[in-house]
Structure 1
Amino acid sequence: MRDFGDSVRLPGRLMLATGLIGFGLVSLYFHHPVDGLQPFDAPPPGVWLNGAVLLLGGAGLAWSRTARPAALALWGLLTALLFVHAPGLAATPRDAVRWVSALEVLGLLSAAMLVAAPGRDDLKLAARMAVGLMLIVFGAVHWMYVDAIAGLIPDWMPGRALWPWITGAANIAAGLALVSGVLARTASALVGAMFASWIVLVHLPRLLAAPGDRSEWVAGALAFALTGVAWTVHGALTRSGEDLQPSVR
Structure 2
Amino acid sequence: MRDIRGLPLPGRQMLAAGLMGFGVISLYFSHLINGLQPFDAPQWGIWLNGAVLLLAGAGLAWSRTARPTALTLWGLLTLLLFTHAPGLVAAPGDAVRWVSAMEVLGLMSAAMLIAAPGRADLTPAARMAVGLMLVVFGVVHWMYVEAIAGMIPEWMPGRALWPWVTGAANIAAGLALVSGVMARLASALVGAMFASWILLVHLPRLLATPGDRSEWVACALAFALTGVAWTVHRALSQYGEDLQPSVR
Aligned letter for 1:59? A
Equivalents in 2 of 1:164, 1:241: separation in Å?
Answer: 32
Aligned letter for 1:118? P
25-34 or 151-160, larger mean C-alpha shift? 25-34
Aligned-pair distance for 1:29? 1.1
Is contact 1:150–1:161 with CA below 8 Å preserved after alignment?
A: yes
- What is the aligned residue count? 244
85-94 or 126-135, larger mean C-alpha shift? 85-94
Is contact 1:20–1:55 with CA below 8 Å preserved after alignment?
A: yes
Is contact 1:124–1:243 with CA below 8 Å preserved after alignment?
A: no
Residue by residue over 1:3-49, the C-alpha shift from the partner in whole angstroms, topping out at 9 and shown as x without a partner, is: 4141x310000000000000011111111110233353211222222
Structure 1 residue runs of 4 or more that deviate by more than 4 Å after TM superposition: none
Aligned letter for 2:109? S
Give the equivalent residue in structure 1 for 2:4.
4
Equivalents in 2 of 1:242, 1:11: separation in Å?
Answer: 19
Distance 1:183 1:2, change over 3 A: farther
Residue by residue over 1:158-195, the C-alpha shift from the partner in whole angstroms, topping out at 9 and shown as x without a partner, is: 00000001000100000000001000000000000000
Is contact 1:182–1:241 with CA below 8 Å preserved after alignment?
A: no
Is contact 1:100–1:138 with CA below 8 Å preserved after alignment?
A: yes
Give the equivalent residue in structure 2 for 1:233.
232
Equivalents in 1 of 2:9, 2:177: separation in Å?
Answer: 17
5+ residue gaps in structure 1?
Answer: 245-249
Give the equivalent residue in structure 2 for 1:44.
43
Amino-acid identity (%): 81
TM-score, normalised to structure 1, is: 0.93
Correspondence list, 1:207-246, <5 A:
207-238=206-237, 242=241
Residue by residue over 1:119-159, the C-alpha shift from the partner in whole angstroms, topping out at 9 and shown as x without a partner, is: 11232111101000000010111111110100000000000
Equivalents in 1 of 2:158, 2:92: separation in Å?
Answer: 33
Aligned-pair distance for 1:87? 1.4
Distance 1:233 1:14, change over 3 A: same
Give the equivalent residue in structure 2 for 1:247.
none
5+ residue gaps in structure 2?
Answer: 244-248
Aligned letter for 2:102? L
TM-score, normalised to structure 2, is: 0.94
Give the equivalent residue in structure 2 for 1:114.
113
Is contact 2:194–2:225 with CA below 8 Å preserved after alignment?
A: yes
Aligned letter for 2:75? G
2:29 matches 1:33: no
Aligned-pair distance for 1:53? 1.3
Equivalents in 2 of 1:156, 1:166: separation in Å?
Answer: 17
Give the equivalent residue in structure 1 for 2:158.
159
Aligned letter for 1:100? V
Is contact 2:12–2:231 with CA below 8 Å preserved after alignment?
A: yes
Equivalents in 1 of 2:11, 2:201: separation in Å?
Answer: 20
Give the equivalent residue in structure 2 for 1:135.
134
Aligned-pair distance for 1:110? 0.3
Residue by residue over 1:99-133, the C-alpha shift from the partner in whole angstroms, topping out at 9 and shown as x without a partner, is: 01100000000000000001112321111010000
Aligned letter for 1:138? F
Equivalents in 2 of 1:215, 1:39: separation in Å?
Answer: 19
